[in-house]
Amino acid sequence: MISNKKTDIVALLNWDYNVSNKELLAIIAGSTSLTDQGKEKGETVFDVNKLFIRSLERLNWLNITYLWGIDKFKELYTTEISKQLFPKQLKQKYDFTAALLRGETVSATEWGTERAKQLQHTFLSHRWNRTQQSIL
């Protein structure tokens, strides 16, 4: 029996297609693809990769791990999937997460000049410096 929580999570991904949640759960469980009833045979609406990318872009990490599992995430998250993720920050987040889960070496955060300027602005704001100068 499929849990109600998984059905609720899949419902978050399936608001704009005429596909049942049960069929999407079947794809997650191991079916390869799903064709839309209104399309010609052979045209797939969802396959495992498309559904996985959609879940990465629209779900939080807790729901992703509940729906797919850690082992399936490590298996499915490849460089091809990484290239298809839209926001750059999302790609960096999941690249880092996948590397950690696979036990790969991960690099430290960037400490280039752009990051240094952001930190300087945070810690040494001009407003604070003006206030200190006006007191003296």
| Domain presence at residue 127 | no
Greatest distance between any 2 Cα atoms in the chain = 79
| Domain presence at residue 130 | no
How far out from the chain centre does Cα 24 lie? 18
Name 33's bridge partners: 47
| Domain presence at residue 12 | yes
What is the tens place of the pLDDT at every residue in 23-41?
899 999 886 555 544 444 4
What is the tens place of the pLDDT at every residue in 35-79?
544 444 445 578 899 999 999 999 999 999 999 999 999 999 999
| Domain presence at residue 134 | no
Among 17, 26, 77, 24, which Cα is nearest to 53's?
Answer: 77
| Domain presence at residue 115 | no
Q: How far is CA 28 from each of CA 55, 64, 88, 89, rounded to the nearest angstrom? A: 11, 11, 25, 25
| Domain presence at residue 51 | yes
Cα 46 to Cα 25: distance, rounded to the nearest angstrom: 11
Total domain count, the chain: 1
The pTM of this model reads: 0.70
| Domain presence at residue 86 | yes
**Structural domain range at position 71:** 4-110
| Domain presence at residue 89 | yes
Cα 6 to Cα 34: distance, rounded to the nearest angstrom: 18
